[in-house]
Structure 1
Amino acid sequence: MFDDSDPRKALLRTAPAEATATGPFCLPQVGRFHEDPPLATGAGWRAWMLGATQMVLRVVELDGTAEFARSGQLDEYMVFSLGPEVRFTITTGAGAVEDHPGNHLFIVPPGDSRVTAQGRGTVTFIFTARSADLVAQCPPAAQPVAPNPCIPPFQPWPDPPGGFRLRAYDLDVPAQEGRFGRIFRCTTLMVNILPRFTAPRDTAKVSPHFHASFEQVSLTLAGEFEHFLRWPWTPDQAHWLPDMRIACSSPSATVLPPPALHTTLWASPEAQIVDIFAPPRMDFSQRAGWVLNAEDYPMARTAIE
């Protein structure tokens, strides 16, 4: 049900949710970081965490310096900030950057690493749920209540041909007609950093859609958003769920579970949202030119959905 003006209308079609969903279904998770007490604090920073089925999110509000280290990290993770006032120093066993400007996405290799962020802004870390220690740090209210039967076991994508290393990608990417957002992937994750919206969404072009086998984490970094969700009816009325409308201020994160039909509205000026997936989406990857770092990471051989 994509609007004709939506580039996602060209994506490969899947079977209707009603034909494949059997229930029971999982409800969305919402991390309202703007009103919840932080999970951790330091001199000049506050951090919140949210655990989804396949990933863990750490969101840091920075006004000073914050340092986070990983020892023996199993797989790649991502760090990014859209704030031009944030500077990064990152050290790994496969590359380093020092006093690097913000408005970049960093893909950090497995192994030992240390990320130091300095300045003022929001910094986001994204890990897979294979980092069991990070999953354990998420409070119970910020973790899935039950496994979602629609989501298959996590499978990483192929290793980069040149090997794992620290990678930095400039987010100052001009819009291009027919391309959807600014999409980057690695072996474990995919992010779509959508353009900053400067006017309310046209309610005649809202493009409700669903995902059959993966969840979407929508990270609100600026402004006000509303997510609308609807689940299919099954023969068992006990599986039916009421429609939901979730209001999100910033910063916050919402986990949109399969196979819920969903769409999003934004009503405030200067609204910013980032969509996150684990592992990468096959349908986005199959669109030529959509994944901006596709040359660095080969596609999986079989479709994820």
Structure 2
Amino acid sequence: MFDTSDPRATLMNNVAKNAEHTEFSNAEYGKFYEMEPVKTDIDSKNWWMRGQNFFIAYADAASGSEFKRGQQVDEYVLILPDKESQAVVTWGNQEAIVDGFSLVIIPPGESEIELVKGGKVIRLFSSANTDLEEFPINKASYREPHPNVSLIEPWPEPKEGYKVRAYSLDVPKEEGRFGRIFRCSTFMVNFLDPNDGPRDPSKMSPHSHDDFEQCSLAIEGEFVHHLRWPWTTDMAQWRPDDHEHFASPSVAVIPPGVIHTTQAIGLGINQLVDIFCPPRVDFSEKNGWVLNADEYPMP
């Protein structure tokens, strides 16, 4: 259910078939601002969370920090949300200087990120990279697969082959387009247009997804994630609603079938990033929504 001013109101079949689900999982919440880092070294503090198909790593990193991958099996995503930061990304014989406020897609194999100017560093990896599975704070929640989540099937490789691809997030808002969406063979990332002040409570967007999780990363501001689990025929499966308050940085992983909407409540800038693994078909089918669609074919 979307307000008529919401671009998602134009999506076809935007109501999930909740009646087909007979069981549901918990939401996964990570409030990094009140948690100890999973890993700390001289240059950075690192927090890790996961969903069924992905791992997310959030770091506060100083200048000179290095993040290396030796056996990366597929494309992964780097987000540098701070405009003042800068990084050098090395892959193969290619070296790319990446300014802050950018999203970067890095190919499989060996790669290195060196932070020239410090700031927030967000990395997204598919769950095919099993060497990372012991890092997430909530790793125990996924010892058994969660119900209703379709397992990842990578999308096609980029048309012109693998290379480091960097995109500025400084994209003007456009009428009819939902956020700032980029995709690769493993992820879709929507760096949403920020809320300046609280969200209008008369224009919320309660909806659900049939077979994929939504990861909502808060990098600035305050939010309430409102979640409602549908009733099934078995009352033992019924759950109370969640109205979970989050400051930043934090992560919420919302299960399939669960009705949800997020309310920005901070007085300043409230910035969310929505993450999906694999990419969403419905967003990809909307002309002009995926800003790098010409580089990545659909299945």
What amino acid does structure 2 have at the position aligned with 1:244?
D
Counterpart of 1:190, as a letter, is M
CA positional deviation for 1:12: 1.6
| Match in the other structure for 2:189 | 191
2:172 corresponds, among 149, 156, 174, to 174
Deviation at 1:44, TM superposition (A): 3.3
Per-residue CA distance 1:39-66 (angstroms, 9 max, x = gap):
1112232110001101000001123331
**Per-residue Cα deviation, 1:188-243 (whole angstroms, up to 9, x for no partner):** 00000012211210000001000010000000000101100001111111111111
Contact 2:19 2:232 in 1 (8 A): no
Q: Secondary structure at the match of 1:65?
A: coil
- Is contact 1:94–1:164 with CA below 8 Å preserved after alignment? no
What pairs with 1:224-303 in structure 2 (closer than 5 Å)?
A: 224-268=222-266, 269-300=268-299
Contact (CA 8 Å) 2:15, 2:207: kept in 1 or not?
A: no
Deviates more, 1:122-131 or 1:61-70: 61-70
Matches within 5 A, 1:183-222: 183-222=181-220
Q: Which residue is equivalent to 1:303? A: none
Amino acid at match of 2:251: A
Aligned residue identity for 1:189: F
Distance 1:45 1:166 in 2: 23
Of 127, 130, 155, 2:128 maps to 130
Partners of 1:216 and 1:152 in 2: CA distance:
12
Mapped pair 1:49 → 2:39: no
Q: Please, which runs of 5 or more residues in structure 2 have no aligned partner? A: none
Identity of aligned residues (%): 42
Counterpart residue number, 2:7 = 7
C-alpha deviation, 1:141, in angstroms? 5.7
Residues in 2 aligned to 1:181 and 1:11: alpha-carbon distance in whole angstroms: 14
Partner of 2:30: 31
Letter in 2 for 1:19: A
The answer on whether the counterparts of 2:185 and 2:278 sit within 8 Å (CA) in structure 1 is: yes
CA pair 143-96 structure 1, distance change in 2 beyond 3 A? farther
SS in 1 for 2:5: coil
Q: What is the deviation of 1:14?
A: 5.0
CA distance 1:42–1:283, change in 2 (3 Å):
same
Q: Structure 1 length as normaliser, TM-score?
A: 0.94
Cα pair 1:29 1:142 within 8 Å, conserved: no
Matched to 2:204, the amino acid is V
In the superposition, relative to structure 1, how do residues 220 and 15 fare at CA in structure 2: closer, same or farther (>3 Å)?
A: closer
Which ranges in structure 1 are unaligned for 5 or more consecutive residues?
Answer: 301-305
Corresponding residue for residue 88 of structure 2: 89
Native 8 Å contact 1:45 1:65 kept in 2 = no
Deviations 1:236-280 (A, max 9, x none): 111111111111111111101111000000111111110000000
1:61 pairs with 2:60 = yes
Specify the alignment match of 2:20 in structure 1: 20
Q: 1:148 is matched with which residue? A: 146
Give the alignment's TM-score, normalised by structure 2.
0.96
CA RMSD of aligned residues (A): 1.5
Please give the alpha-carbon distance, in whole angstroms, between the structure 2 residues aligned to 1:284 and 1:18: 20
